[in-house]
Amino acid sequence: MRSLPQDLPRHVAIIMDGNGRWAQKRGWPRLKGHEQGAHSVQECLNACLEVGVEYLTLYAFSSENWKRPVIEVKGLMFLLEQYLGSKIEEMKKNGIRFSAIGRLEGLPKSVQERLHKAMAATADNKQLTLTLALNYGSRHEIVDALKAIADQVVLGKLDPDSINEELISASLYTAGMPDPDLLIRTSGEYRISNFLLWQLSYAEMTIIPKLWPDFKKQDLLDALENYKNRKRRFGAVNA
């Protein structure tokens, strides 16, 4: 694996959009698009491992996705269990540490068990951290963080005057991870969709017209190359 150049991102976040539309365009059930989308996840993992990206966070199932047809939701949960069960050994072999963020307690028990098994089995890996956002909503995340902080204040363990950005970041689901440097969204939509609202404050964004199942390794490598040519100002004025 090549070392990561300084001008490439440590952390890439992706909104994987377009699975259902990809399937419907072909006259197939929407779940077929989700099945095909799993191959695109592998393409991204291969690209990140090749260049040395340290963190990859994928928006897999939002808290709003429960509104989808029951058969689609059940199928998604089944695919998730299958994916994790089939990929644990491969993740261990490739040094991938698996993580998940969101209100995981709201997922089916069998999915929770598979998630915890994958996290435990890969906990010592250090090559790449793959994080799936599941039953995730950024507003929920911020509410949960503020509740945890408020509890500490009520118990007298925290002075309200000591609350700052660092404390809030440390109270989010992503505590211990660097904020994403680059956000990619497929399907040509220009929305963040309640994803990592706090963490994406200064991220660069790339919108790709392809639907997620058509996203390949080279697409990610091209996005990384484009990122290299940008000047990140963080509110300042650069020469």
Residue with token string 């509410």: 143
Count of C-beta atoms within a 10 Å radius of residue 166: 9
Kindly name the residue from 19, 46, 65, 214 that is annotated as catalytic.
65
- At residue 75, φ and ψ (nearest 5 deg) are -65, -40
The answer to whether 214 is a known catalytic residue is no
The answer to whether 65 is a known catalytic residue is yes
| Helix 70-93 with 30-51: angle, nearest 10 deg | 20
Q: Write out the catalytic residue numbers.
A: 17, 65
